[in-house]
Amino acid sequence: MRVYLDNAATTPIDQEVLKEIYQVMESYYGNPSSIHAFGREARTVIEKARKTIAGLLHASPSEIFFTSGGTEADNMAIRCAITDLGIKHAITSEIEHHAVLHTLKALENAGTIKLSFVNVDAKGNVNMEHLEQLLLENERSFVSLMHANNEIATLTDIEKIGILCERYNAVFHCDTVQTMGHFPHDLSKLKVHFLVGAAHKLHGPKGVGFIYVNHRIKIKPLLYGGSQERNMRGGTENVYGIAGFAKALQMAYNEMEEHKNYILGLKNYMMEQLLDAIPDVQFNGETDPEKSLYTVLNVSFPEMEMAEMLLFSLDIAGISASGGSACSSGTDIGSHVLTGIGASSVRPAIRFSFSKYNMREEIDYTISKLKEICLLNVQA
């Protein structure tokens, strides 16, 4: 049996999305910047997709700009806002995605900004009192905090953060890559200036994302070139990727409650089975369904010999999971997220992440293999 439990890294593409992409690739191959009929047809595909995504998010189509993915969108929000708005202070947390952390630290190292880190508790929850203190103590700040942590699933109260940022005239950027298509986002009510998403996290294609830029914010492009994306992002648009993204997001919204209930059932079942099968297993981050992303479960296993072989042993058994953020896989650097919440450094940790395509039988198989591996290591 082969089991894929690494959906937080990327999801399998939906067949309906694939059909949409094939149809666009075959029929709308003109350059969308060309003024002839073939170009206009391709441009129509992009604008239809933009309108679909904007409608689902309760935004204006003029506020949606397509990118190559979440990382580019995060960089665009951070670098352009700080440079173009003259911001000298930024606030983030130690457990953000590296697309945010590395970008902000590079700006700090260049002397562009002073960078502050808001405190988080042992489950990854942002300390709102400390955030308000940082906002109060500094001039206009740039705040970058994600909606759900990609490793430990903890949800952040972005509505409350948005209100705080408005009170102190701060610019708020939110990475919603993990929650896009899994939770509704109403940008007509959420007080956010920048918000980003990526198609491959919700059964869409890789290599395409978007950034929402609130119409009250004026920034210059991150990438210069042609006049694409209304002069905000140079480079020929990924027409079929954009069409696939819109199709995937539309399907996700149509099926959101059904999939949430199903996937949460799988996650709860795995937690129950782990507690029964493996002594002293622990869960990292929030596990309360109201406070966590239902697609992600981070598990710390008992200290064991050859702990570094746990993921490898699962892979040999046909089970794909992650030791942390997929963007850091292949390195021997421990998870900065688990370090940031003070998790044990001697316990091996695995992130299991689920999708609508997973089945209970796959969970049973994974539990049986984990039990075997843990027993062998304890005996060793």
Number of other CB atoms surrounding residue 28 within 10 Å: 20
- Convert 247-259 to b/e letters by CB count within 10 Å (16 or more is b): bbbbbbbeeeeeb
* Helix 15-27 vs helix 239-254: crossing angle, to nearest 10: 150
pTM, whole model, 2 decimals?
Answer: 0.95
Q: What angle do CA 202, 206, 207 make, to 5 degrees?
A: 130
Phi and psi of 347, rounded to 5°?
-95, 130
Closest of 32, 69, 74, 106 to residue 213, by C-alpha: 74
Of the listed 80, 174, 327, 374, which one is catalytic? 327
Active site residue 327: yes
Low-confidence ranges of the chain (pLDDT < 70): 305-307, 324-333, 377-380
Q: Does domain 15-254 have CATH number 3.40.640.10?
A: yes
CATH superfamily assigned to domain 3-12+255-379: Aspartate Aminotransferase, domain 1 (3.90.1150.10)
The per-residue pLDDT for 379 is: 47
Length of the chain: 380
Q: For the chain, which residues make up each domain, given as ranges?
A: 3-12+255-379, 15-254
Domains 3-12+255-379 and 15-254 share a fold: no
